[in-house]
Structure 1
Amino acid sequence: MVVAFSPNMIFYYLAIHSIVCFIPSESIGFTLRLIPRFSPESPLYPGNLTFEEQLDQAIELSKSRANYIDFLSTPESSLSPDNIRFWVRPDNFFYTTEVTLGTPTSPQQLLVDTGSGLIWTQCAPCINCYDQSIPIFNRDQSRTYSKVPCDDPICARHKCLNGECVYQTNYAGGAVSRGLVSKETFTFTTDQGLVRVPNIVFGCGNDNQKFAFDGRRISGILGLDMGPDSLTMQLFNQIQGRFSYCLVYSKAEMTASSPLRFGEDTVLPPRPDIRTISIVKQRRFKNIYVKLVDVSVGDKRLGFPPGTFDLDTNTGLGGCLFDTGALGMYFNQGPYDAVMKEFDDHFSSFGLKRISVGKDLRYCYNYHPKFRAYAKMTLHFPTADYVVEPTYLYFHYERKGYFCVGVFIYPGQQQKTIIGSWLQQDMRLLYDLNFGVVRFMPENCAADQ
């Protein structure tokens, strides 16, 4: 969320025969569909991999994601928001989505990035565009396209060059997207049909260089952070500051799409097991943090000192967040050692032998099909407990004869605690930014389509 949103942070094609509504400013609800990289529907699809191969790829991607979050939490990132120390390569993203913009409509596939703000897509006529396998959006053919003028307050966040408001986003490795800051009508799906939302600000990128996307169905990036240019913040009033997602459980294969809902589409049913935790109040960093106070393994509460997982709002050190771009659970070295000792003591008490399989998965054990005594993990917040059942905590390499605890050492310097997508499966999370809370409840996410 990744929120990269993990989190973590997409979509099947919209049915053209749906009812279309035009919504200028009132409250709305709509849903995007998060398509994971291992789905054949995804432009990132790496081919028909085994589940174990998918896990290994996702773990590698998670490390890149954690390092990206690390940079985003430094004071330097807030001073230079247009310089992103992240390699924009296909293997650094987990989710894509389809958005439709313009009149007539033009569907575009975007990489979902909860760590950046500006939405941008390639635009014709091009100065430099990489080869994408779907038609590039042509601004000259859309009746609803407009440029943002230099005297618009929006342009104060960008630059005025030769009388035009322009953006430039630089990525690690030399990739750069440049173009016109523009407005366009976007079309989204709802439970009642389609809804058209005018005047969404986006980057109309006509100069995009050194991206490794040639020949793919990738048009650009959908930014979903808390910056002013992101889709979430542009539509803040219309969506009442609410969005939610429910990640489908993927035991056999990580191919199922999941809904990302906004506004009126996020309404939760009246259930007694809905839990609520507060969002940490801070404005310096664009990720959403929650206050973790302690951890339990099985029934044993570890009793970490107060403040162990707190965010320093001045330096960006510490803090806990949900992210859909990372796979497992990440702890800083000290908490990691304490948590994993409890897991190891638990499995050792049943005579399971710890084995060495690699530098990332450090706590793995011989797999026995009849073994059932897997320990759960509970994340304790001031007002609620987030219980991670064993189904969503372990990686089973059944063909290789072992399983691993899905908990990792945080690889960066900023001492983050990340609750990744594997631990969020079959859990609906609703972010209510108006009230400054995250609500969650267990759910069969496969039924929420």
Structure 2
Amino acid sequence: MNRANHFNQISVYSNAVESPVTLLDDGDYLMSYSLGTPPFPVYGIVDTASDIIWVQCQLCETCYNDTSPMFDPSYSKTYKNLPCSSTTCKSVQGTSCSSDERKICEHTVNYKDGSHSQGDLIVETVTLGSYNDPFVHFPRTVIGCIRNTNVSFDSIGIVGLGGGPVSLVSQLSSSIGKKFSYCLAPISDRSSKLKFGDAAMVSGDGTVSTRIVFKDWKKFYYLTLEAFSVGNNRIEFRSSSSRSSGKGNIIIDSGTTFTVLPDDVYSKLESAVADVVKLERVEDPLKQFSLCFKSTYDKVDVPVITAHFSGADVKLNALNTFIVASHRVVCLAFLSSQSGPIFGNLAQQNFLVGYDLQRKIVSFKPTDCTKQ
């Protein structure tokens, strides 16, 4: 389903590409890269549940984060509009043809919360770092140039790493071997790396792997979560919701902070944790979490919660499962919802997480990501 492979022809010596990733205060992870010729530095939220690269462009009618310079396509020698008659335009969900004589490909994304982003699909050169060269240029990469949005970005855009045909990973697949990895550092003053190609291999002691399940459009990476365990208490991941049954029952998402579980599964997990944590229960001052304790984070004594994926047991410690809600209040950082299960980025911190889309596996390796 990758119709964009032919866009990028680069040297075989560039099969080890990387980009710095930093943590924002709101829990999003930001990737830096460059667009256009000459290269213009931009930033985007690393999002494995999005299948397009979005960037807020100059002359945007309604955009956010006006303090950062926006990409201006008119200054780039390699910028081109994507015709609505092109195969790529027709292969992407949410596209339409402009009503003027230009007949360019327009794109709209509507989110579940009612927000939206609208813009043009353009073709541009993306520049990333490399092990072997200072920079590697990927010409004719399809980008969404935002002209109108009511989404409040803490960055200039989004870097979609999902499975759709115009995600960054899909478009670079012929050059990076359909592999990428990231290591999410838990503190904002330390950057880590998003790696592509040969540099993204995850192996060695402690590595566990589970199968990716692709569904309609191949946009999301579904994993099969069988159960959680808290000590000797095993909570089966079964729910009255059909979305939580069978293979491919949870989405792994670097663009969502907290892990989201069906109501009945969350209730059992919360009870299991509450039974073993010997701390005073208090209300959440943020009014977001339902299980909170009076404690400082450095002294919190909580159990390891193991996520039992098919073929892979991932042990989550306090860093992955609890959050400081306020001074002397820590909360279980899972949310309850029937909108669909998500394995969020907090649970992935201090793991080297590798995606091998050729083999259809995700691997986890416990790692100090501040040293990557």
Compute the TM-score of the two structures, normalised by the length of structure 1.
Answer: 0.69
Q: Which has the higher strand share?
A: 2
Q: 34, 46, 71: which is aligned to 2:21? A: 34
Secondary structure, aligned partner of 2:186: coil
Distance in 1 separating the partners of 2:103 and 2:207: 49
Q: 1:203 to 1:337 in 2, by over 3 A?
A: closer
Residue aligning to 2:306: 378
User: Per-residue deviation at 1:436?
Assistant: 0.7
Residue type of the partner of 2:87? P
Residues 350-361 of structure 1: pairs in structure 2 closer than 5 A? 350=278, 352-358=279-285, 359-361=287-289
Residues 209-248 of structure 1: pairs in structure 2 closer than 5 A? 218-248=155-185
Secondary structure, aligned partner of 2:164: coil
1:152 paired with 2:86, answer yes
User: Per-residue deviation at 1:177?
Assistant: 2.6
Secondary structure, aligned partner of 1:164: coil
Q: 186, 191, 206: which is aligned to 2:131? A: 191
Residue type of the partner of 2:118? S
Residue aligning to 1:421: 345
User: Per-residue deviation at 1:145?
Assistant: 2.7
Q: 346, 354, 370: which is aligned to 1:430? A: 354
Distance in 2 separating the partners of 1:447 and 1:419: 24
RMSD: 3.4
Q: 1:210 to 1:322 in 2, by over 3 A?
A: closer
Residue aligning to 2:148: 208
User: 2:238, 2:244 within 8 Å by CA — same for their partners in 1?
Assistant: no
1:280 paired with 2:221, answer no
Residue aligning to 2:330: 403
Residues 23-102 of structure 1: pairs in structure 2 closer than 5 A? 24=10, 26=12, 28-38=15-25, 94-102=28-36
User: 2:212, 2:248 within 8 Å by CA — same for their partners in 1?
Assistant: no
Residue type of the partner of 1:31? E
Q: 217, 220, 234: which is aligned to 1:301? A: 234
User: 1:328, 1:421 within 8 Å by CA — same for their partners in 2?
Assistant: yes
User: Per-residue deviation at 1:308?
Assistant: 8.1
Distance in 2 separating the partners of 1:305 and 1:128: 46
Q: 245, 254, 272: which is aligned to 1:342? A: 272
Residue type of the partner of 2:195? R
User: 1:297, 1:376 within 8 Å by CA — same for their partners in 2?
Assistant: yes
User: 2:56, 2:156 within 8 Å by CA — same for their partners in 1?
Assistant: yes
User: 2:49, 2:253 within 8 Å by CA — same for their partners in 1?
Assistant: no
User: 2:160, 2:168 within 8 Å by CA — same for their partners in 1?
Assistant: yes
Q: Structure 1 stretches of 5 or more lacking a match?
A: 1-21, 39-56, 59-93
User: 1:145, 1:182 within 8 Å by CA — same for their partners in 2?
Assistant: yes
Secondary structure, aligned partner of 2:265: helix
Q: Structure 2 stretches of 5 or more lacking a match?
A: 1-7
Distance in 1 separating the partners of 2:186 and 2:73: 39
Secondary structure, aligned partner of 2:293: strand
1:328 paired with 2:258, answer yes
User: 2:108, 2:118 within 8 Å by CA — same for their partners in 1?
Assistant: yes
Residue type of the partner of 1:324? S
Distance in 2 separating the partners of 1:370 and 1:195: 42
Q: 226, 242, 260: which is aligned to 2:194? A: 260
Q: 1:312 to 1:226 in 2, by over 3 A?
A: farther
Residue aligning to 1:44: none
Secondary structure, aligned partner of 1:439: strand
1:303-346: CA deviation from partner (whole Å, max 9, x where unpaired): 55599896569xxx982122233333322111111111111111
Compute the TM-score of the two structures, normalised by the length of structure 2.
Answer: 0.81
Distance in 2 separating the partners of 1:384 and 1:260: 22
Secondary structure, aligned partner of 1:335: helix
User: Per-residue deviation at 1:423?
Assistant: 1.8
User: 1:245, 1:428 within 8 Å by CA — same for their partners in 2?
Assistant: yes
Residue aligning to 2:52: 118
Range with greater deviation from structure 2 (135-144 or 97-106): 135-144
1:387-418: CA deviation from partner (whole Å, max 9, x where unpaired): 11234322346x733332222212xx3342x2
